[in-house]
Amino acid sequence: MCGIAGCLTREFAPLPAAIGSRFKQAIAYRGRDGNGEWTDGRQAHLFHSRLSIVALDDGAQPMKDIDDRLTIVFNGEIYNYVELRAEYEKRGARFHTSSDTEVILEGYKLKGASVVNDFIGMFAFAIWDEARRELFLARDRLGKKPLYWTDAGDRFCFASTLDAFTGLPGWTGELSRGALDFYAAVGSFPLGLTAFRQARSLPPGATAVVRPGADPIIERYWRLDFSRRRAMSWKAALAEYEEILTDAVRLRLRADVPVALTFSGGVDSGTIAAVASRKLETRLACFTVDYHTETDPSEETLGAREAARQLGLDWHFLHFEYADELFPALDAALAAVDQPFNNVTISYSQRLYDAIRPHAKVVLSGNGADEIFLGYRGNEDLRRRDSAALPGPLRRLSRFLPEQRRKSSRLAAYQLDYLRANLRSYPGDIPVEEMLDGVAREIDACGVGGYGDLYTFMALNYYTCDANFRMPDIAGLQAQVEVRSPFLDHRMVEFAARLPIRFKIGDIDNATYNKLLPKRYYARHVADDLAWADKKGMGWNIRFGDSFARDPDFRSAYEGALQAVAGVGLDAERFRGAWDAFTRDKLAGVLFPPTGGVMMAGFMLGRWLQVHDRGAARPVADV
């Protein structure tokens, strides 16, 4: 993985040295193995910082194609580049390096924009086409790799981080209160928008063509499609699951540097370890982070140790003393985060990646399985709600009814009612209805046909984007490790979208049978008490929620965060109310208070504002 940046000017003009320096400085943390820059001497300027994973000796960027027509900067990995190289060579492509970067270039020459459909991977890249005098941008299907852009005077600028735009001519750094409100409600920003009014994000699964002086022409090449539900037997479902996952893991083991695994011992990371060792003959060193002492042992850590023993893994444990370490670790992690981030787990995830780096440069992760296979506590109710949508006699026949599979409009209305109740209008900012229309269009375009579909759609696009995409990208690169997620292979995500909900939720009254198919598969490799254990997750015993309810230092930190939120003109009282309700529930013994998400969104928003010196010192303008 790497950092990329660049700009395209309207007129022939040299790039001011200060802008080039800012680009290089902003992306430097993303890759410390090398850096490069290129210009055509007239309008196009590209910058790159490299974390070397494959083609260590001949993969430097910016890279030109063998015909000297195309120049690329690329962030990410094309996991199937070996297979694509062989395919493209049969069609006449010539290569002078062993890198996946050159495979993108030669594929683009053969297929143009449609080449992105060939790629299995995570990527954001920019190609300058000298013959056409245009810039081609692309981002992977799920949006694992970031790609932002802005207009700066007479320049179109893009980068892997929003920090690259600081100091550009005309850049004010003005925050969008509408986008921040949306973030607080669902955990991420509206599609294509950012926390900053002057910056945009290329949507996941999208390409853009930019010509000097013209607006980007953006096209979506992929969306998750829930409308292709198909009946299958358990035998067929398990076989297809194993086939896809085995190939996803195989491709993600492909590297010219050591590979390791973040390991909770649960279904997702445990299955990756089992597939790697028993199907692919690769035993991975695995790493767990938690709070675990003799007097306060962690069930999850004990389970991880036992799972590692049963799978024959080299297990490493990192103790995180959260009462003392959480805030310093959080602030250090947030320093490189370019817009608000909603998950406090970045604090100890950053520490975990730092601990892994001396052992490996690539890390596999179980991210994404809970979102696509409905593994969270409470997800069992989604199947109940899907069944309740039809009269009893029709429930068994629901898979044959098109109207049951395609309830997109009603489900969109349900989701929008929640959002509308939690969003405010701000004069001069993005209108609430414009944001809601964007969500509704995507729900419809993806063919969302049930509450289970809706949850997966919202999780992949909003709820857990930070945990699944931004945290591995930013925190991993701060530690100079590349995080790869086999369950977020687009083929696995598409398989899960086709799967009837009975393969995901086994019992509407018992969360033990959530994520049913993956658990049944994992039970082939470990004892039942591990395969069917209640979901906990990495860092289960790091009880920061209890601390926010009871510890005076944590409560003081929360109050400071709310002051920063109020300082940018947002409604801090909403978060204070959620915090008060969260505290009451925690003190009453409620394990998962329903206001926890809103409470944490308020804290993380405020903490980011404090770390980046925003708050009261930088009020948000109304116009």
Tell me the binding residues for ATP.
365-366
What residue has token string 């598969």? 521
Residue 94 zone, left/alpha/beta (φ > 0; ψ -120 to 50; rest): beta
DSSP string, 265-334: SSHHHHHHHHIIIIIS--PPEEEEEE---SSS--HHHHHHHHHHHHHT-EEEEEE--HHHHHHHHHHHHH
Q: Answer yes or no: 446 catalytic.
A: no
Q: Which contiguous run of DSSP H or E holds residue 355?
A: helix 346-356
Q: Which contiguous run of DSSP H or E holds residue 414?
A: helix 408-422
- Which residue of the set 2, 7, 446, 465 is catalytic? 2
Any long-range contacts for 433-436 (C-beta under 8 Å, 24+ apart)? 435/178, 435/182, 435/190, 435/193
How far, in Å, CA of 204 to CA of 457, rounded?
A: 13
> Cα-Cα-Cα-Cα dihedral of 284, 320, 597, 557, to 10°?
-150
Q: Which contiguous run of DSSP H or E holds residue 137?
A: strand 134-139
Say how many C-beta atoms besides its own lie within 10 A of residue 162's C-beta: 21
Tell which residue, 495, 519, 547, has the closest CA to residue 243.
495
DSSP at 463: I
Helix, strand and coil in the chain, % to nearest 5:
50, 15, 35
Binding-site residues for L-glutamine: 100
Binding-site residues: 100, 365-366
How far, in Å, CA of 90 to CA of 261, rounded?
A: 36
CA atoms within 13 A on the CB side of 554: 21
What residue has token string 């179109």? 156
Q: In what order do the strands lie in the sheet with 2-9?
A: 34-39, 44-50, 2-9, 155-159, 148-152, 200-201
Cis peptide before 518 (omega within 30 of 0): no
Are 216 and 209 a contacting pair, CB within 8 Å?
yes
Output the six-digit token pair for 202.
């290329």
Cite the active site residues.
Answer: 2
